[in-house]
Amino acid sequence: MTPTITPELVHRHGLSEHEFAGIKALLGREPNFTELGVFSVMWSEHCSYKNTRRELKKFPTTGPRVLVKAGEENAGVIDIGGGWAVAFKMESHNHPSAVEPFQGAATGVGGIIRDIFTMGARPVFLLNSLRFGPIHDEGEYGRKNRKLIRGVVAGIAHYGNCIGVPTIGGEVYFDESYNGNPLVNVFCLGILRRTEIARGAASGVGNAVFYVGSETGRDGLAGAAFASRDLTEESRADRPAVQVGDPFRGKLLLEACLELLASGAVAGIQDMGAAGLTCSTCETASRGGTGVQIDLALVPKREPDMSPYEILLSESQERMLIIVQRGKEEQVKRIFEKWDLPYSKVGTVTNDGFMRVLDDGSVEVEIPAKQLADDAPIYEREAAPPPAPESIDISKLELLDPKRSLLQLLKHPSIASKNWIFRQYDHTVRAGTVVPPGSDAAVFYVREANRFLAATTDCNSLYCCLDPREGARIAVAEAARNLTCSGADPLAVTDNLNFGNPYKPENFWQLREAVEGLAEACRRFGTPVTGGNVSLYNESPQGSIDPTPTVGMIGLIEDEAWITRQYFRDQGDIVFLVGEVGHEIGGSLYLKAVHGRKAGAPPRLNFEKELAVQQLVRELIRTGIVKSAHDCSEGGLAVALTESCISGSEKIGATVGAPDFQGRPDIFLFNESQSRIIISVAPEAAAQVESRAEEVGVPLVRLGEVGGRTLTIDAGGTSFVWSLDQLHDPWYFSIVRALAHQDL
Amino acid sequence: MKIAVVRFPGSNCDQDCLRALQDGLEVDAEYLWHKETSAAGYDAIVLPGGFSYGDYLRCGAIAAFSPVMRAIIEAANHGTPVFGVCNGFQVLCETGLLGGALIRNRSLLFLCQPVVLKIENNSTPFTRLLNEKSLLRMPIAHGEGAFYADGSTLAELEDNGQVVFRYVDEHGEATSEANPNGSMNNIAGICNPAGNVVGMMPHPDRSWDRRLGSEDGLQLFKSLVETLLSVAA
Amino acid sequence: MSTPLIVFRMKLEVLVMPKRTVLDPQGVAVRNAVRELGLENVETVRVGKIIEIEFSAEPDEKKLNEICRDLLSNEVIEDYRVVGTTTSFP
């Protein structure tokens, strides 16, 4: 009993009249109900990027190290030398996490891991970029946000820890714009030989199509379409759409697929993620320039009486589609059986270009695969800038006690230590974590390849809210700066574009500005974009989220001796600021957290200056004299210095300052001007730093000395003294205290 | 000399253990599949960490009934050194080769952090190269690692010197602050009465290489190899 | 120190089970183990939990249902029902 196709039904599937007309023209007839479902998911934003594809084309995607480009496969692949390559990608699971934080986050991790091993790569580490509304508030949203963060963190831990891929870093930010609409962006990197990249193409007419993994249930029905809608109060009613992750099955699938790919029996492999069986069949056929025919009667099912519509659109987790080389079927079955995985031969590769789905022999779906997968209509949405943000007149800004302001900033959860979070993630499994969570970038030793990789995720959404183009440029610069501080050369980028409803002109304007900013910065840093994900419709009843174009960047550290951490090490070491003291206070966390104002123009990024600062720091690191390097970002110099004092296993103080600074002490301490890195070196190396900076024309400020049990800062003639314990307590325990006690 | 590293479905430190042996010590080591019914030909057996069978039902409970465990119990009873790390320790407790059980951490949260351990018994095959009371640094990573035993079992373990590792602070004191998970008597690892079966929650397989910040874990594997060599000689 | 002469005790048992339509990975793993161990005709296993709660006075029913729905279970993936009630006035 299938419903008749009415305009109302078409609308409910998120398809416009114009799109429906296109479908009829493509088929030469009316689609049936199942086909309508198939189109609705394939032509949703999540699968087709119909609203953003034109913008995404602006990214630089090529480079000497790029082996698989953005959009070609499930993840981009970069050459790291010595015959080895890495596949990496970031993806969002925002909407499922808003509805059911534990399972939403867990299945997000599972999905990104499958994307990576689908490329033939062994997943080696995870990062995640998380955003929540404030967690210290007493009210309804505070309560909800605490529930969300607990659930998301536990979900990530559940999946990542169980499957045995360490979560070694990332970022967590808090802002009112994420009330009830958290962002969960997960990043995974895997290692493979550069000659052994697996492809998601249904190649070889006559080859068998196998289904392997968990049985199909009614999980996450139409999740891809779900992710492409506003999150309203009604979403509560959508709740059965949430999928349940099974990391144990995920682990078996991971091992079986890697063994399978190594056996040479596989012609093509594709994860069943969003839009499950639908997406994997038409995409593999499209990539292979072939057709695929499957019979739903052969699909392993968990529940009785599932309709073709339900089977095709199910988003049950831990499933793969595998195209097997002819004659290798028995070999493949043996591997599935070894790993105790359900499997079934569900169809074959055909030469007619159709995605043809049978239901126990009778044709249920017959759609040209290439058009379905690749020819969704492309839109250029209306764009209009929102009202300009309120400007800041510093002379009218109340001068508060800077001593207290620093403590307030350290307590702000965006700055405070994330120990409560990363202690729950297994970050040491796979025996390769060299710099664990809590420094500028995580560093991992990939034993197979004998390579040290650094990775980070960055985005200051406060800047992006005030100026998306500048904010996006800074996101890339900051990611590169974090890698530089760890001793790495930046290699490539994956991005996760989180925005509101694109039909709102200001949201689309923000998206375009951010994409152009990212594209420009990626060109300047020589870091191509190799893939990523777009998440639109991030809306809560309060409005759109701040634009959040998260940047995931990886880098390579050629020599183990270059690995550098953010915290001070030895008494008597000299502290330098590479870059200028700066003065820009617009868009700073100081303004927001201390003065309660989300206002002003964010700091400007000067590429030449930024590149020169990073180049100098990398060069100094390579001479072996740099003992610590830390990027100045949210909270400015004062917060960066504090972190250098208290984030190591041994706390150590510093006496620093710039007595000839002219201006307000709060501007000195908390401004967020870009292109600044704090380094420390042994006293005998100080002259070398100074002369080298002068030679290359990079501004340098000798701030002072490491040592003692206080942080003492002279801000233009006024001295401020904090004891280390006074700084450590709010920073270390802020998040722990907000979350340690259960509330309903 | 040949050492087996067991692979249960869901083991995820199998590779780390194998590498500690192969790369850290250059000894002959290989995987032993959970469906095997014999453990013959191996001089020692390592049960690695992970989430065998997803740790569904109870940690280690389903793995304890796998075919290979029948063979390993037999080998252990004949004196073969058996070493369970993390999930491997949980499996050993579930089989009854070791007393007690591992329950939810006191904080109810998964904990991944460095700990300090004191050697309380240096006569096992895995600790013989270490001085009694010496301190080792290595990470823990578990959600259910609080050691529990009833009063008489605990007294027996203590009286017989079956407590092999204890969580301590930098000064070697077994304080409550140094106890990460609420283990009774700060117990991090124990052995059977014969001393050939040892289980521990912390991870020597993640601390055998200077790049990881500690090489202390290698001492345990080295002790095993020395023991096996001295038996052979 | 005085103790009340009559102590009201009410014990509830709340059964929390994964919803029928939701995947229960734990149940699947246990089912497979049961099969391996020789009971081959096992069809399904579902694993839930029982929570015992004791009250010293009759609980507010509306609040109790809220607690069951929002705290003891996760309505997205689980169902609950109160399976046992024992009341005693010792």
pLDDT tens-digit series, residues A407-427: 999 999 999 999 999 999 999
Cβ-contact A441, A187 below 8 angstroms: no
Predicted local distance difference test score (pLDDT) of residue C87: 83
d(CA C26, CA C68): 22
> Looking at the predicted structure, is the pLDDT value of residue A225 above 90?
no
The gap between the terminal CA atoms of chain B, to the nearest Å, is: 12
B55 at A interface, C-beta within 8 A: yes
Is there a contact between C33 and B54 if contact means CB atoms under 8 Å apart? no
Neighbouring C-beta atoms of residue C70, cutoff 10 Å:
12
Q: How many Å apart are CA A459 and CA A672, to the nearest integer? A: 14
pLDDT band at B171 (very low <50, low <70, confident <90, very high): very high
A163 touches chain B (CB under 8 A): yes
Q: Domain C9-88 class?
A: alpha beta
Mean pLDDT of C11-15: 93
Structural domains of chain A ordered from first start = 564-744 (3.90.650.10)
Residue A115 vs residues A235, A273, B12, B111: alpha-carbon distances, Å = 27, 9, 19, 27
The complex scores an ipTM of 0.97
User: Across the interface, do B56 and C29 touch by the CB < 8 Å criterion?
Assistant: yes
Q: Which amino acid is at A531?
A: G
- List beta partners, residue A578: A677, A700
Average pLDDT value for chain B: 96
Of C24, C76, C79, which to mutate for an interface test with A (greatest number of A Cβ within 10 Å)? C76
Give me the domains of chain B, ranges plus CATH numbers: 3-232 (3.40.50.880)
In Å, how far are A339, A343, A348, B49 from A334, measured between CA atoms?
9, 11, 19, 26
Residue C47, amino acid: V
- The mean predicted confidence, pLDDT, of chain A is 94
In this prediction, residues A198-218 reach a mean pLDDT of 94
Count how many residues are written for chain B. 233
pLDDT score of A239? 43
Q: C33 touching B, CB under 8 A? A: yes
CB-CB under 8 Å, A218 with C74: no
Listed in order, strand segments (DSSP E) in B107-193 are 111-119, 135-142, 146-148, 163-168, 187-191
- Determine the 3-state secondary structure of B163 from DSSP: strand
pLDDT at A234: 47
Kindly list the domain boundaries of chain C, sorted by start residue.
9-88
Identify the band that residue A333 occupies on the pLDDT scale cut at 50, 70 and 90.
Answer: very high
Look up A46 and say whether it is catalytic: yes
SS (H, E, C) A503-551: CCHHHHHHHHHHHHHHHHHHHHHCCCEEEEEEECCCEECCEECCCEEEE
Per-residue pLDDT tens digits for A695-738: 999 999 999 999 999 999 999 889 999 999 999 999 999 999 99
Q: How many CB atoms lie within 10 A of CB C85?
A: 9
Tokens (6 digits) for A452: 């040290």
C19 to chain B, minimum CA–CA distance in Å? Answer: 17
Residue from the list B56, B65, B66 with its beta carbon closest to the beta carbon of C25: B56
Q: Which of A239, A240, A249 sits opposite C25 (nearest CB)?
A: A249
Q: Are strands B3-7 and B29-33 parallel, antiparallel or unpaired?
A: parallel
Which whole number is the average pLDDT over A561-588? 97
> Shortest Cα distance from B88 to chain A (angstroms)?
14
Tokens of A353: 């270009």
Given A11, A18, A93, A412, the catalytic residue:
A93
Cα–Cα separations (whole angstroms), residue C57 to B21, C8, C50: 61, 6, 21
pLDDT reported for residue A241: 54
Tell me the chain B residues in contact with residue A339 when contact means C-beta distances shorter than 8 Å: 9
pLDDT exceeds cutoff 70 at A230: no
Which residue, among A262, A176, A295, has the nearest Cα to A545 in the 3D structure?
Answer: A176
Return d(Cα A201, Cα A88) in angstroms, integer. Answer: 19
* Dihedral, A143, A147, A148, A151 alpha carbons, nearest 10: 170
Does residue A1 surpass a pLDDT of 60?
Answer: no
CA distances A109 to A185, A244, A273, A465, C51, Å, are 9, 12, 12, 27, 30
Q: What is the largest CA-CA distance in chain A?
A: 85
- Given a contact cutoff of 8 angstroms between Cβ atoms, the answer to whether A90 and A496 are in contact is yes
Residue contact B211–A424, C-beta within 8 A: no
Q: Which of A11, A18, A46, A741 is catalytic?
A: A46
Give A604→chain B minimum CA distance, Å.
38
| Residue B225 in this model has a pLDDT that exceeds 70 | yes
CA-based end-to-end distance of chain A = 43
C-alpha radius of gyration, chain A, whole number: 26
